[in-house]
Amino acid sequence: MAAGAFADRGADLELVGIEKRFPGFTAIENLNLTIPAGSFFALLGPSGCGKTTTLRLVAGLEEPTSGRILIGGTDVTNQKSFQRPVNTVFQSYALFPHMTVLENVAFGLRRRKINDPVAKAHEALLLVELDHLAHRKPQQLSGGQQQRVALARAIVNRPALLLLDEPLGALDLKLRRQMQLELKTIQEEVGLTFLHVTHDQEEAMTMADTIAVMNKGRIEQMGEPQQLYELPKTAFVANFLGQSNLFTGPVVSTTSTAIAVDVSGQKIVVPLGRAHRVSGEVTIGVRPEKLTLHKDAPIHDAGRNVMGPGRVIDVSFSGVSTQYLVAVPGVGTLVVFAQNMAFGPAAHVGAQVWLSWNVEHGFGLDDDPADAPRFEADLDTKTIAQQRRSSLVTELEEA
Amino acid sequence: MAFAVFSTATAPSTDPVARRRSPVALFLLLPGILYLVLFFLTPLVSLLLTSFQTPREFGDIGQYDYAFRWQNYTEVITTYWPHIVRSFSYALAATFFALVISYPLAYFIGVKARKWPLLQSLMLVLVIAPFFISFLLRTLAWKQLFSDESFVVQSLKALSLLGPEAHVTGTAFSVIFGLTYNFIPFMTLPLYTTLERLDVRYLEAGNDLYASPFQVFRKVTIPLSMPGIVAGTLLTFIPAAGDYINASRDFLGGTGTQMMGNVIEANFLVLQNYPSAAALSIILMTVILVIVSIYVKRSGTEELL
Ligand SMILES: Nc1ncnc2c1ncn2[C@@H]1O[C@H](COP(=O)(O)OP(=O)(O)OP(=O)(O)O)[C@@H](O)[C@H]1O
Ligand SMILES: [Mg+2]
């Protein structure tokens, strides 16, 4: 980047066939990624999946074992970190302990000989509401305050590409929302490119133009937030971004518009355009909030899939909605979210219910069902505990 | 007193709560206080009194009476000012060279060699290894190496890098060389302990913020290793300023390279001029104290800890 001036717009980032091996451990496998200039890109994934490693590769703090990195069309694979037009908000903050907050923020500006670094640093500190602490040392700040200084230290440089490694993790909800808004404003104002790493799926969904879900060093799926949510490609994505009810069974018939899958004797239809696999054993799913509870067997409707009867084994009220766990024999336990439109739950524990959903809301996964966890096997400890509890309750009632 | 200055520079400042006096703490400190009174304060007072003594009238050489003869100080300063200046210049030069040599060494052991713990320990052992041989023996060995008939000097003369009449021992070079050599471990070890704890993530952050490797070194590495630099330079400078082995004629020095330690020794053991020796000692101590306190204040290391 030219000394003495800010980037006037974002740069696109391209990762081509990146692989990163640590001694005895492959952190990133064959990563291909293009982030268009000026977009807000979120990298989402569980702990240890390689998100920080990816950012370090882009920032030049780690060398890829193979592959190339291009920023704004220039190959920067062999450029040193300080030559790249990139700034990072580090997960560990890495604020210089021997400098005041103000000097920390002005550091990058001074190195690039930008005019009036102190005034600009104050501006950035105002943005994160910390200007009154400008003359403290980083050790004298709280965790959340340090995180905001780290944020100010990076954005003050207005880099063409900003890497954010969980930049809001230590903030409370209100401050977090506010910072999200600030970040989005800065990003759109100058049209910078943001690569944002987060654990928080809601943050990723609300802020990002594009989300990539990463798992074990690979990108499982990439796309717009809504697309990722509505049409997950793998069981991992289906359960990492929100919750899903997944079923496995063989495809029994195919029409020009849909496939029908036999799930323990119940025929479930998925539109062809929403199914990644169309023959053999497949895994299909539906989101919990798309399910409707019925107290009587619903009348047959070609536009809806029906499953049941099943028994309600748990009801938990969470304000806006109520979560029901319904055990369907031969299929497993399904999760249902229902809006609290009326007083009291629609069904009580032990009630016999049917479930239905619009055919258009189902999706078919790309996973090989042999690899994908079967729904029964996927019961988490919480579900098991709930089942135990409900069986105990029935036992007591019978006695 | 010198110890107090030194400890504020290296030890983390204790918080006010811990400083509150309690009878138990005083009781626990008692042996230490007694030790200091007995072995530090008493000799210091005795030294101070000696430095003002006056020669006994009609007495023998080496017989003195207590008095307040402050002229002792002006006399030793006018007589020995070249030695005083030389002591501090040599000590300063040796400290500088020891720092320049030790810093890269300590950086390599403490930062670069982190990936290979075995190499790290091996190199540390090599730094400490000279301590297994007596200081005097090692200095004598250098005297042999630098003597006029030695292979080193002969070869240098053969290559015309040294004039035919030149000597190495007895020069300022050989004394500063000896001081530097002897104090390098004292410089390297404290530097190593701070650099070993240096968090490389700060260096990465510096790189990420457009600082070239040199700028990162100047703006991040050096300030963060300041406690080690202060400790190392003090551990080198203070004993080097008072050293009398390296500069002695029996070792690497000559007539023109005598330092304060040598004149104190001569006054005390040979001339039996105890007041002069005491006055010189007091001057040496005072100057070191003043230099060290200014240095510790200026380097601002208290803030780092
Ligand atoms: N220097 C290293 N040597 C060996 N393995 C490493 C090294 N750095 C990271 N790893 C491994 O690479 C994997 C990915 O690490 P990374 O820090 O990228 O995870 P992450 O996705 O950022 O996780 P988190 O969300 O917990 O921050 C981890 O399993 C980690 O143990
Ligand atoms: Mg991480």
At B86-107, the pLDDT tens digits run 999 999 999 999 999 999 999 9
Work out the pLDDT band at B26, boundaries 50, 70, 90: confident
Q: Does one domain contain both A34 and A102? A: yes
Q: Do A96 and B220 touch (CB under 8 A)?
A: yes
Q: Does one domain contain both A205 and A289? A: no
Q: Does the structure show a pLDDT above 80 at A388?
A: no
Identify the contact set of chain A against chain B, taking CB-CB distances under 8 A.
1, 59-61, 80-82, 86-88, 90, 92, 94-98, 107-108, 111-112, 137, 153, 157
A7 within domain boundaries = no
Q: Provide the pairing of β-strand A40-44 with A210-215.
A: parallel
Alpha helices in A159-298 (DSSP H): 173-190, 201-207, 225-230, 235-240
Q: Does one domain contain both A272 and A325? A: yes
A395 within domain boundaries = no
Last residue of a domain, one of A201, A226, A251: A226
Question: CA B156, B159, B162, B165: dihedral to nearest 10 degrees?
Answer: 100
A365 within domain boundaries = yes
Domain containing A56 — which CATH number? Answer: 3.40.50.300
Q: Does one domain contain both A193 and A283? A: no
Q: How many CB pairs under 8 A join A and B?
A: 64
Alpha helices in A24-172 (DSSP H): 51-59, 101-111, 117-127, 143-155
Q: Does one domain contain both A245 and A174? A: no
Going across the sheet that includes A245-254, the strands are: A266-271, A258-263, A245-254, A281-286, A363-364
Q: For residue A309, is the peptide bond before it cis, meaning its omega torsion is within 30 degrees of 0? A: yes
Task: Compute the distance from residue A45 Cα to the ligand 2 centre, in Å.
Answer: 10
A320 within domain boundaries = yes
The domain in which residue A196 lies consists of 13-226
Q: Does the structure show a pLDDT above 60 at B288?
A: yes
A29, A49, A89, A203: which to mutate for ligand 1, most atoms within 8 A of CB?
A: A49
Q: Do B210 and A112 touch (CB under 8 A)?
A: yes
A25, A28, A54, A62: which to mutate for ligand 1, most atoms within 8 A of CB?
A: A25
Question: Per-residue pLDDT averaged across A109-131, rounded?
Answer: 94
Q: Does one domain contain both A188 and A237? A: no
What is residue B18's predicted lDDT score, i.e. its pLDDT?
Answer: 52
What is residue A344's predicted lDDT score, i.e. its pLDDT?
Answer: 64
A105 within domain boundaries = yes
The shortest CB-CB distance from B205 to any of A60, A94, A157 is to: A94
Number of domains into which chain A is organized: 2
What is residue B166's predicted lDDT score, i.e. its pLDDT?
Answer: 82
Range from A332-341, B179-188, B204-213 carrying the lowest mean pLDDT: A332-341
Q: Answer whether A148's CB lies under 8 Å from A125's CB.
A: no
CATH number of B81-304: 1.10.3720.10
Q: From the CA of A50, give the closest atom in ligand 1.
A: 18
Question: Per-residue pLDDT averaged across B11-35, rounded?
Answer: 72
A147 within domain boundaries = yes
Domain boundaries, chain B: 81-304
Q: Does one domain contain both A203 and A252? A: no
Q: Does the structure show a pLDDT above 50 at B11?
A: no
Question: Per-residue pLDDT averaged across A330-358, rounded?
Answer: 85
Task: Please tell me the distance in Å from B205's CA to the nearest CA on chain A.
Answer: 6
Q: Answer whether A268's CB lies under 8 Å from A248's CB.
A: no
Element (H, E) at B235: helix B226-241
* CA dist., res. A333 & res. B72, Å (int): 100
Q: Does one domain contain both A341 and A203? A: no
Q: Do B210 and A96 touch (CB under 8 A)?
A: no
Q: Does one domain contain both A217 and A358? A: no
Which residue is closest to A61 within chain B, CA to CA?
B204
| Pocket residues: Cβ below 6 A from ligand 1 | A 22, 25, 27, 45, 47-53, 91
Q: Is B266 on the interface with A (CB under 8 A)?
A: no
Q: Does the structure show a pLDDT above 90 at B1?
A: no
B20 or B144, greater pLDDT: B144
Task: Please tell me the distance in Å from A88's CA to the nearest CA on chain B.
Answer: 7
Last residue of a domain, one of A174, A198, A226: A226
Q: Which residue do the tokens 């890109």 mark? A: A41
Q: From the CA of A23, give the closest atom in ligand 1.
A: 4
Q: Does one domain contain both A236 and A191? A: no
Q: Answer whether A332's CB lies under 8 Å from A344's CB.
A: no
Q: Does one domain contain both A44 and A93? A: yes
The shortest CB-CB distance from B201 to any of A92, A107, A153 is to: A92
